[in-house]
Amino acid sequence: MNQKEQISIFDIFKIGIGPSSSHTLGPWRAAQQFTASLQKNNLLNEVQQVKVLLYGSLAKTGVGHGTDVAILLGLVGADPVTFDVNAIGSTIEQIKKSAKLVLNNEKEIDFVYLNDLLFLYAESLPFHPNAVTFQAFLSNGKAFSETYYSIGGGFVVKEGDSDADKTSVDLPFPVEKASELLHWCLSTGLKVSEVVMENEHAWRSEAETKAKVMQHFAVIRDCIYRGCHTGGILPGGLEVARRAEKLNQRLTAGAKYQNYDEWLEVIRKGGNGFNYTLDWVSCFALAVNEENAAFGRVVTAPTNGAAGVIPAVLQYFIAFCDGYSDEKIIQFIACASEIGSIFKKGATISAAMGGCQAEIGVSSAMAAAALTECLGGSQRQVLMAAEIAMEHHLGLTCDPIGGLVQVPCIERNTMGAIKAITASQLALQSNPDKAKVSLDAVVNTMWETALDMNSKYKETSDGGLATNIPISLPEC
């Protein structure tokens, strides 16, 4: 844990491609950073061969999470924000078939997938379970090697880097813990989202921040809409059927619409009955994580495995709580990001470090806080909502069947979203002065729980459902 980390909205919310932020987006970024290092050291054109070594959780669930795919795409210079998701399969197939790889789209080298991309299942590096080493063998007989750690949420740390290497800014309201956030809120009268926006100004103008948040929302919106209108079977061999499309068809009952806004009006016209609303929240969450599992474009929130919780609660706010305006959407996302950053600084947002409590639990806390502020809750109620949501995710394990971000991950996002809404309602109807548990206490407890948790429940597929459900996946 880094107690001096400065985290922006756009560190917590990153545009990327599924199915995993720590196993797909992080390794993808690591591969990009490695090729950038080769370029910086004038070594790119000297490379004759590259070997990639995957350790720990990256090895054990790497294929199911698309780690191999992400690394190859990163090495060839593709970017997860812009790369055509429909071209992933053909690009990887061409690399395997030709046994050639064009580093950073500049330098062609021989690359034999089975020999040069190694899954070291029995080996783990001490700093973090998600480790990858890149080795470049040069024409002069020497080698250039770098090791990276994907620490959750798409964050990547290169071995040997120090805090002194990082660029810092002068934040008007530095926050490490929830108590510090509350201090700034109460001393200034600012909402949590307003504290965040003031801090963001240290990196860029307010107009730029707002525009970028709305760009991220556009990806979230399109992901929900696409997921609600795409059926079929998810890739990976588990034969999991997508459910959001059929649920959407049942709930819209044959109504006609051509785009997101018209679809939103159809949803609103259906009323706000409990079962109806509950079904839609589940549908929104399913849609996002089915897209995520199918290598679609999503926004980490704060991770890919938990990418459906915040979008589902935000879409609930938009559809059922009159939240469809730029300002309200920006407020929601800004508030959520601060809660996520507090968990990252005080605990972890990596399932490989803390189990699923670090992903679904954190995303639920973020969503609960954001919804509470947007519905008029006080700063104390906002933090209370986050605490309630996480308190009831403590100890949640990560045990993906077959190493795929599908079962139980997709349904788990529906649970996280519903818990977030419940936590918000509880906080809004409660006096936070009488709360027995603070957000900082639950962050500390989550970290202690993570440390105590058996490693087989930390995204390894070595325990839990992953070992109790008989499956037969095709050979990788």
Based on the structure, what is the number of domains in the chain? 2
Integer Cα distance of 112 and 106 in angstroms: 18
Please check whether residues 157 and 80 belong to one and the same domain: yes
Q: Spell 449-464 as b/e; 16+ CB within 10 A means b.
A: bbeebebbbbbbbbbb
Give a yes or no: residue 170 inside a domain: no
User: For all residues of the chain together, what is the average pLDDT?
Assistant: 95
In the predicted structure, residue 329 carries a pLDDT above the cut 90: yes
For residue 4, what pLDDT band results from cuts at 50, 70 and 90? Answer: confident
Integer Cα distance of 335 and 333 in angstroms: 6
Q: Residue 382: name the closest of 393, 372, 390 by CA.
A: 372
Please check whether residues 58 and 146 belong to one and the same domain: yes
Give a yes or no: residue 225 inside a domain: yes
Integer Cα distance of 385 and 360 in angstroms: 15
Distances (CA, A) of 269 to 110, 221, 233, 247, 263: 58, 19, 31, 17, 10
Domain membership of residue 439 as a residue range: 178-468
Q: Is 158 helix (H, G, I), strand (E, B) or coil?
A: strand
Structure tokens that stand for 77 in this block: 């210079």
The whole-number average pLDDT for the span 239-266 is 98
Torsion of CA 157, 160, 165, 170, to 10 degrees: 50
Give a yes or no: residue 4 inside a domain: no
What's the first-to-final CA gap in the chain, in angstroms?
34
For residue 444, what pLDDT band results from cuts at 50, 70 and 90? Answer: very high
Please check whether residues 76 and 102 belong to one and the same domain: yes
pLDDT of residue 165: 58
Q: Residue 137: what are its φ and ψ, rounded to 5°?
A: -100, 125
Give a yes or no: residue 438 inside a domain: yes
pLDDT of residue 168: 87
Q: Give every CB contact of residue 59 below 8 A, 6+ residues apart in sequence.
A: 119, 120, 121, 123
Please check whether residues 201 and 141 belong to one and the same domain: no
**Axis-axis angle for helices 206-227, 192-200 (nearest 10):** 120
Please check whether residues 213 and 79 belong to one and the same domain: no
Last residue of a domain, one of 165, 191, 211: 165
DSSP string, 49-108: EEEEEEEHHHHHSTTTTTHHHHHHHHHTT--TTTS-GGGHHHHHHHHHHHTEEEETTTEE
Please check whether residues 92 and 214 belong to one and the same domain: no
pLDDT digits (tens, 9 = 90+) for 119-156: 999 999 999 999 999 999 999 999 999 999 999 999 99
Torsion of CA 91, 97, 101, 102, to 10 degrees: -60
Q: What angle do CA 467, 471, 476 make, to 5 degrees?
A: 100
For residue 172, whether the previous peptide bond is cis, meaning omega lies within 30 degrees of 0, is no
Whether 381 contacts 191, CB under 8 Å: no
Please check whether residues 215 and 95 belong to one and the same domain: no
Last residue of a domain, one of 141, 165, 189: 165
The whole-number average pLDDT for the span 281-302 is 97
pLDDT digits (tens, 9 = 90+) for 57-116: 999 988 989 999 999 999 999 999 999 999 999 999 999 999 999 999 999 999 999 999
Residue 136 zone, left/alpha/beta (φ > 0; ψ -120 to 50; rest): beta
CB atoms within 10 A of CB 61: 28
Please check whether residues 210 and 346 belong to one and the same domain: yes
Torsion over CA: 219, 222, 228, 233 (sign)? negative
Q: Give every CB contact of residue 245 below 8 A, 6+ residues apart in sequence.
A: 227, 228, 229, 230, 231
Q: Residue 359: what are its φ and ψ, rounded to 5°?
A: -115, -70
Q: How far is CA 343 from the centre of its chain?
A: 14
The whole-number average pLDDT for the span 387-396 is 98
Please check whether residues 55 and 199 belong to one and the same domain: no
Whether 243 contacts 251, CB under 8 Å: no
Please check whether residues 129 and 209 belong to one and the same domain: no
Please check whether residues 156 and 79 belong to one and the same domain: yes
Q: Give every CB contact of residue 376 below 8 A, 6+ residues apart in sequence.
A: 428
Give a yes or no: residue 2 inside a domain: no
In the predicted structure, residue 191 carries a pLDDT above the cut 70: yes
Q: Residue 476: name the closest of 124, 123, 237 by CA.
A: 237
Q: How far is CA 380 from the centre of its chain?
A: 26
Integer Cα distance of 198 and 204 in angstroms: 10
Last residue of a domain, one of 101, 133, 165: 165
E-state strands within 163-281: none
In the predicted structure, residue 475 carries a pLDDT above the cut 50: no
**Axis-axis angle for helices 309-320, 326-346 (nearest 10):** 150
Give a yes or no: residue 473 inside a domain: no
Q: Is 157 helix (H, G, I), strand (E, B) or coil?
A: strand
Give a yes or no: residue 195 inside a domain: yes
Q: Which CATH number covers residue 63?
A: 3.30.1330.90
Q: Residue 354: name the closest of 422, 464, 416, 443 by CA.
A: 443
Whether 402 contacts 237, CB under 8 Å: yes
Q: Is 261 helix (H, G, I), strand (E, B) or coil?
A: helix
pLDDT of residue 471: 78
The whole-number average pLDDT for the span 265-293 is 98
Give a yes or no: residue 171 inside a domain: no
In the predicted structure, residue 43 carries a pLDDT above the cut 90: yes
Please check whether residues 217 and 278 belong to one and the same domain: yes
Q: Residue 33: name the closest of 143, 132, 178 by CA.
A: 132
The single residue listed with the structure tokens 């690394």 is: 71
pLDDT of residue 3: 45
**Axis-axis angle for helices 360-374, 409-428 (nearest 10):** 40
